[in-house]
Amino acid sequence: MSVFHVAMLGNGVDMRGIRALSAFAAASALALAVTACTGTGTTSASQTGNTGAASATGAAGKPSATPKPTPSGPAVTITPASGAAAADPSQGIAVSAAGGTLKSVTVTTQGDPVTGTYSADHASWHSTYALNVTQSYTVTAVATAVNGTTTTKTSTFRTLTPSTTFATVIFEGYQQQYGVGMPIILTFSAPVQNKAAVERSIQLKTSKPVIGAWYWDGNQTLDFRPRDYWPAHTVVSFTGHFDGVESAPGVYGYHTLTQTFDIGDSVIAVASTRTHKTQIYVDGKLKYNWPISSGKPGDDTPDGSYLTIEKENPVRMIGPGYDLLVPWSVRFTFSGDYYHDAYWSVGEQGFENVSHGCVNLSPADAETYYKLAVPGDPITITGSPRPGTWDNGWTEWFLTWNQLVSGSALHEAVVAGPNGSTFVSPATLPANTAKAPLATAMAGNNLD
């Protein structure tokens, strides 16, 4: 059986592929004593000015020249200030140099490495992500004035220990393989209010260029979906810098979540309930065109662009008048719709819809599809009088691109590649030329 794997705190843990908000117990307060660390900022240039005109006379009886004031270096400010014992990690580190430019900012810690960005004029610097909770930091900044004087300042501080924390799990498993439609699915242990801060804390690296967006499905589930299907054979690396992020007032993340997984072959199924056929495309080419029987009137297979969730050989199916072990079964809705072997309906396949909602295949065809399928392979059902239902399966492809972007707290697109990801305005993106069904989902997946 192929299942959907879950990683928590960066480790893979097996989990069945049915989305449901995980019921987490609120994380207990971290039982670490907060110790105030102090440090002394140092300045390399003299801060002493002129104390007044000299009254002494020289050997020739002439007054001595007035001493010139010693040049002062830039005024460097580091936040949090040195000695802070419970700094807010969600605010990060800010450094500024009044009257000069920053030449270097270094941060030492036993926690996660700290990166940051200078302003265009190098007059300020800010860390990229939140700081770790319950962690000590030493920041050293060097700034230079126009006249060449230099200031060096140091701040040593410690971040707070939160009384309430949240945890995050990612459904994708370590180095597991998924289909080209697979979303990244994150579940949070507590409702998230500061959704924008959570989105900003996430970094994606993809071996091939990808455009996508984050989408909040409620307050505890966050999905990433590409604008179009993932390029086949893409390696995806995820880092959630959640440690120190304040997701709600007084609620902080306490771990950094990482995961790496692969996108496999492009395997795309399109079924018509009217023509009683399904096409199977493999790596961009039509590979199979099989007869099917879908749901009979009253049990119609719902329209929509779904994704394979799991597979099992066999699956026990129980319903009105039947209790069967069904071979070669690949699930695509949570309510129990499958592509599966239906040896009992081979005579109707290609001509009539007689199932209880599943897509019936011949034994040989069902086995072939079963062996191709991994979680996240697209399955699109067309021609049914019954619309699909949001969240009855992984239904992220029911959303148009505009709907997907509007579900982000930032309302921005994500552009990812081998060097990481950035947020951009959707208006700046190149026009989308992807065509269904090979490169993207079919339009018109209406919800009920």
**Residues belonging to the active site:** 340, 358
| Residue 245 and residue 232 in contact, taking contact as beta carbons nearer than 8 Å | no
**Is residue 8 helix, strand or coil?**
strand
Q: Give whole-number Cα distances, 265 to 177, 262, 297, in Å.
A: 9, 10, 35
Q: DSSP secondary-structure letter at 91?
A: G
Side-chain-side CA neighbours of 81 within 13 Å: the count stands at 0
Signed CA dihedral, 407, 383, 316, 287: sign only? negative
CB atoms within 10 A of CB 41: 18
Q: Which residue, among 45, 46, 43, 65, has the nearest Cα to 55 in the 3D structure? A: 65
Distance CA 382, CA 370 (A): 21
The DSSP annotation for 246-297 comes to EEETTEEE---EEEEEEE---EEEEEETTTTEEEEEETTEEEEEEE-B-BPT
The DSSP annotation for 97-129 comes to EETSEEEEEEEE-SSS---EEE-TTSSEEEESS
Distance CA 317, CA 16 (A): 18
